Homo-oligomer: A and B are copies of this chain.
């Protein structure tokens, strides 16, 4: 079931703004910020407002349809839950963000549970460091 069906089913209105915001979310490959969504939304329909974007994202988050990640840029990024969980390797040299499959952290998750009784939610971990290219270029 798509986000729009989900919204409708739960009694929320399918306003044109919401439909467009959801479309923009679905069209975006990776993680998109509220400002970026607003920018696309504004292209399609000028008479809109960024507070609508924030309120829609807040609603989608409450319904568990999108999740947030903080990639350390001072802004929050959003992505669809159904697009799957993964992590982020954020390069401090060039800013590139590489996706990392969820499975890469299973070992860590299990260790945190067995050693610390902490149930880690490792769905959107941002790991900072340097990519191979930047290492080779000495950008450290």
Please give the residue numbers on chain A whose beta carbons come within 8 Å of chain B beta carbons, in ascending order. 70, 72, 89, 91-92, 98, 100, 104-105, 107-108, 111-112, 115-122, 125, 127-132, 135, 140
Contact = CB atoms under 8 A, between A and B. Distances in A.
- Where chain A touches its partner, the secondary structure class is mixed
B121 A92 contact: yes
A132 B105 contact: no
A111 B107 contact: yes
A130 to B, nearest CB: 5
B108 A118 contact: no
A107 B108 contact: yes
A109 to B, nearest CB: 9
B132 A117 contact: yes
Contact of A127 (B89, B117, B120, B131): B120
26 contacts: A70-B70, A70-B72, A89-B116, A91-B118, A92-B121, A98-B116, A98-B118, A100-B112, A100-B116, A104-B108, A104-B111, A104-B112, A107-B111, A108-B108, A112-B127, A112-B129, A117-B132, A118-B131, A118-B132, A119-B129, A119-B140, A120-B129, A121-B128, A121-B129, A122-B129, A125-B125
Contacts of A72: 70
